[in-house]
Amino acid sequence: MKTLFQGSLSVAYVLLVLFLNPLFAAATPDLEERTREIATELRCVVCQNLSVADSPSEMAQQMRSIVREQVQAGKTPEQIKEFFVSKYGEWVLLKPKTTGFSSLLWILPYTALVIGMLAALWFIRRWSRTRQIRTEQTSQSGETLQIQSDFLKEKFDQPNLEDTSPRANLLRERGRLKEELSELEFDFQSGKLSEADYLTLKREIESKGATVMQQLDALPPEPKTPKEKRHEPNVLRRNRLPGWQLVAGAVFLLLFGLALGVMLTQSTRPRTSENDTMTGDFMTGTTPPTGNAQAALNEGKQAFTQQDFPKAIDAFKKALADDPNNAEAHAYMGFILIQAGHGDGALMAFDKALSIAPNFPMALWGRGTVLYQDKKDYAGAREIFERLLNIVPPGEERNEIVKVLAEIPTGTGPKNPSSAPAPSPLAPAASSAQISGKITVDSKLKANVDPNVALFIIARPAGGAGGPPLAVKKIDKPVFPLNYTLGQENVMMQGTPFAGKITITVRLDKDGNAATRGPGDMTGEYKKNPVEVGAKNVDIVIDQLTK
Amino acid sequence: MPWRRLVIVALIVGPILGLLAFGFTRDARYITSPLLATPATPFTVTLFDGRKITLDDLRGKAVFLNFWASWCPPCRDEARDLEAAWQKVKGKDMVFIGVALQDLDNNSLEFLKEFEVTYPNGKDATGKIAVDYGTWGIPESFFIDPQGRITYKHVGAIRASLVLSKIEEAAKSIASAQEGKGDYQAIR
């Protein structure tokens, strides 16, 4: 009995191994594939139109691992998607649902397409019919056409009812035929008559009308009234589209094109900040920033660092003309005005910047400086610097703020007029706010350099490994040795000062994506990291190859 | 009749343009949470002092749950307000919990020290709690009533006065119809 039991156990074991082994062998790639399939349909919640599968962000990685866990737990793709919908709403689905209100998104385009095609067909048929009728009319003899066109005159002066003369009778008959023709037209337009019947009946009435007209012509002539003279042959009028319709159509098309063009360019422009909406306040009447503003801003900053203030003023003015809500340009103008000794003007510029971005550190620093140095408003300055202290993360800039706060006297009078705040890393610094040097590739790795890769020069605050890079510069298809400079224009978050101690690394990236690392990427770092901003000859050798 | 044609064209084109204009006025990145007035997902967070807190243990108390990171300026902006609010409700049947996201322990601890935060704080190392609460921008704050239902959500920096009024509402199980919005920063 025991042997039988053991035997069946062994058989069961062998069967299990046989059946399960192929499954186990296929488990990992299948799991990854299924995870990816589901992740492709989920929208990354911190990116713009990227799927969870494609996004390199930390959040997307965490979402992918949740998907993987749920796949492993045996949940169906629908259940997994439903889980994310329950947390983020249907927004999280890259493909909207085909049920409920979202089904409209699927149905409406096709409905519009069908309606459009039907409308186009209807118009084409109508136009071709009109043309046919016109061709038929023009093919008739000139005399009959003339008579018929006279007959088709829109308005007739009905003769007096008491008048029983032959002319009056003929005129009455003409009016009756005209009415009959109008009714026929109406019946045909409303679809009560076939085209063949319509044409036959129409010809019949027209020939009757022509006979009446000929009889009328045969009568002795009667002087025409001025009203009659004004009538034009109706055939021509009817076949011509009135001018106002053409103009209205053209104006509408022009306006529609303009609206579409403006809205499309608005929606596809790069956003300048987290709070920047798709329209860039277009709907509220303020001008959205364009690339020109950014270019002018960069030009201004460069001129500022070189202390070429007239050029900087011109550039910032240009930037503000293009984007009056550019807080950075206002703040820079403020600093230029401080340099020129216009405290009030500077204060206005900083206030303007702060009205746009209430927590903009550079403008807060500027305002605090003016209040302290120029206005001797110590309470006001203290308030501003304390506000700044709450926003700025620990580091060089923060220490500077603490130092200034300690210097501001608590009383109303100046403690020491000469102890004005030193130029802070928060304020746009002089031309020394750059790091420059040369990048070379180690001789052993030179053969591995792909000429089409991108080079990233990455600056991180020293000791702040967890945060995003402070500044990044991308150079496509670099040629070595390469001279580089890294400065304020390369910072990733607008308003963050390029200052303090910085760790510099470089990476030759095969896929050109700074956020991902892959085999074949080459890296290097400055051997004496960290380095102070302003340092020159920060030479880096690329000497590491990612396997 | 020409005017009839105009009316038909206006009736067709008007709604399309209206829809287009409406779409352009919306912030495509803002995610309206479906979690208001729904049961809060249970979670366990390991605090920086090593203790563990589970949401289920807090039944019967109004809970203020705040997601933050030391690298996020709006989180720094609200930190003192949160501590001030906590000092006012401490001792009542109310609990404040801070959960750090995508942050290094040292930086988080430095942050807590700098702003003298005294209410319990831990970290969400895997990001699971953040996803369970549909988090996408920080700071994000949730108010949970004694029955474990989310009564209010606020994306972005929140002021002490609002924290106090919303936690009072949560204690009475009054759910808000809409979430609030302040200065926020998208998580990474």
Q: In Å, how far is A486's CA from the nearest CA of chain B? A: 22
Query: Cα–Cα distance between B153 and B185 in angstroms, integer?
Result: 16
Predicted local confidence at residue B80, as pLDDT: 92
The closest alpha carbon to A331, from A313, A346, A315, belongs to: A346
CA distance B133 to B135: 5
Residue A538 CB coordination number (10 Å): 22
Same CATH topology for A21-92 and A291-407: the answer is: no
Cα B69-B70-B76 angle, rounded to 5 deg: 100
Q: At residue A430, does pLDDT exceed 50?
A: no
Decide: A52 and A43 in contact? Cβ < 8 Å.
Answer: yes
Task: Find chain B residues with C-beta within 8 A of A85's C-beta.
Answer: 34
Q: Which of B26, B70, B134 sits opposite A88 (nearest CB)?
A: B134
Selected residue with higher pLDDT from A160 and A60: A60
**Residue of chain A nearest B2, judged by CA positions:** A245
Q: Which two tokens stand for residue B146?
A: 């004694």
Q: What's the burial of A247, exposed, middle or buried (CB within 10 Å: 0-12/13-18/19+)?
A: exposed
HEC string of A3-14 equals HHHHHHHHHHHH
B 136-175: CB under 8 A from A: 136-137
Residues of chain A with Cβ-Cβ distance to B73 below 8 Å are 359, 391, 393
pLDDT at residue number A2: 43
Residues A277, B26: C-beta atoms closer than 8 Å: yes
* Closest chain A C-alpha to B138 CA, distance in angstroms: 11
Looking at residue A341, its pLDDT comes to: 77
Query: What average pLDDT does the segment A70-90 reach?
Result: 90
Q: pLDDT at position A182, please?
A: 87
- Residue B94 β-bridge partners: B62
Return the minimum-mean-pLDDT range out of A287-291, A488-492, B53-57: A287-291
Mutation site, B123, B131, B159, interface A, largest A CB count within 10 A: B131
Identify residues of A whose CB sits under 8 angstroms from chain B CBs.
Answer: 45-46, 48, 57-59, 62-63, 65-66, 84-89, 91-92, 245, 252, 256, 259, 263, 266-267, 274-275, 277-279, 282-283, 358-359, 390-394, 464-468
- Quickly list DSSP for A431-492: TTSEEEEEEEE-TTTGGG--TT-EEEEEEEETT-TTS--SEEEEEES--SSEEEEEEGGGBS
CA atoms within 13 A on the CB side of B15: 4
The reported pLDDT for the residue numbered A239 is 52
What's B29's DSSP letter? T
pLDDT at A199 over 60: yes
Cα distance between residue A333 and residue A309, in whole Å? 10
Q: Residues 6 or more apart from A193 whose CB is under 8 A from it?
A: A184, A187, A201
pLDDT recorded at residue A29: 59
- Which residue type does A286 have? T
Lowest mean pLDDT, pick from A223-227, A446-450, A485-489, A513-517: A223-227
Shortest Cα distance, chain B CAs vs residue A481, angstroms = 34
Per-run averaged pLDDT (10 residues), chain B, 188 residues? 83 90 78 87 92 91 93 90 93 92 90 92 91 90 93 92 92 86 73
Spatial strand order in the sheet of A540-542: A482-487, A434-441, A540-542
What is the model's pLDDT at position B85? 94
Answer yes or no: do A58 and B29 touch at CB < 8 A.
no
Considering only the beta carbons, identify the residue of A62, A91, A359 that sits closest to B73.
A359
Instruction: Mutation target for B interface from A42, A44, A46: give the one with most B CBs within 10 A.
Output: A46
Q: What SS3 class is residue A32?
A: helix
Q: Bigger pLDDT: A356 or A1?
A: A356
Provide CB contacts within 8 A for A59, sequence distance 6+.
Answer: A44, A45, A46, B102, B127, B130, B136, B187, B188
Contact A466, B103 (CB under 8 A): yes
- Backbone phi and psi for residue A487, each to the nearest 5 degrees, phi listed first: -145, -165
Say which CATH topology domain A21-92 has: Helicase, Ruva Protein; domain 3 (1.10.8)
In terms of Cα–Cα distance, which of B163, B158, B156 is closest to B138? B156
For residue A537, pLDDT over 70 is answered with yes
b/e map A74-92, b = 16+ CB within 10 Å: ebeeeebbebbbebbeebb
Give chain B's domains with CATH numbers: 30-186 (3.40.30.10)
Higher pLDDT, B65 or A220: B65
Cβ contacts (< 8 Å) between A358 and chain B: which residues? 183
Question: Residue B142 has which token pair?
Answer: 């949730």
Is there a contact between A391 and B20 if contact means CB atoms under 8 Å apart? Answer: no
The string over A16-33, giving b where at least 16 C-beta atoms fall within 10 Å of a residue's C-beta and e elsewhere, is eeeeeeeeeeeeeeeeee
CB–CB contact B107 A282 (8 Å)? no
Q: How far is CA B120 from the centre of its chain?
A: 17
Helix ranges restricted to H, chain B: 2-25, 73-89, 105-114, 128-132, 160-171
Provide the shortest C-alpha distance from residue A390 to chain B (in Å).
6
Kindly report, residue by residue over A442-479, the tens digit of the pLDDT.
Answer: 888 888 888 778 888 888 887 765 556 788 888 877 88
First to last CA, chain B: 59
B59, amino acid identity: R
Q: What is the pLDDT of residue B47?
A: 93
B114 touches chain A (CB under 8 A): yes
> What's the rounded Cα separation, in Å, for the pair A39 and A54?
8
With an 8 Å Cβ cutoff, is B26 touching chain A?
yes
B188 touching A (Cβ < 8 Å):
yes
Q: Is the CATH number of domain A291-407 1.25.40.10?
A: yes
Counted across chains A and B, CB pairs separated by less than 8 A come out at: 110
What does chain A come to in residues? 547
Best residue in B8, B9, B31, B123 to probe A by mutation, most A CBs within 10 Å?
A: B31
Three-class SS state of B65: strand
Which band of pLDDT confidence, cut at 50, 70 and 90, is reported for residue A58? confident
| pLDDT tens readout for residues A84-142 | 999 988 888 888 777 777 778 778 888 888 998 998 888 888 887 777 776 766 665 55
Distance CA A396, CA A398 (A): 5
Q: What is the pLDDT of residue B81?
A: 92
Please write the tens of the pLDDT for every residue from A1-49: 444 444 444 444 444 444 444 444 444 558 888 898 899 889 888 877 7
Fill in the DSSP letter of residue A406. H
Nearest to B78 by CA among A379, A387, A46, A397: A387
B27 touches chain A (CB under 8 A): yes
Q: Domain spans of chain A?
A: 21-92, 141-218, 291-407, 434-545
Which helix (H) or strand (E) element contains residue B124? strand B121-124
Do A278 and B17 make contact, defined as CB atoms within 8 angstroms? no
Residue given tokens 């020129």 in the structure block: A340
pLDDT of A340 over the 70 cut: yes
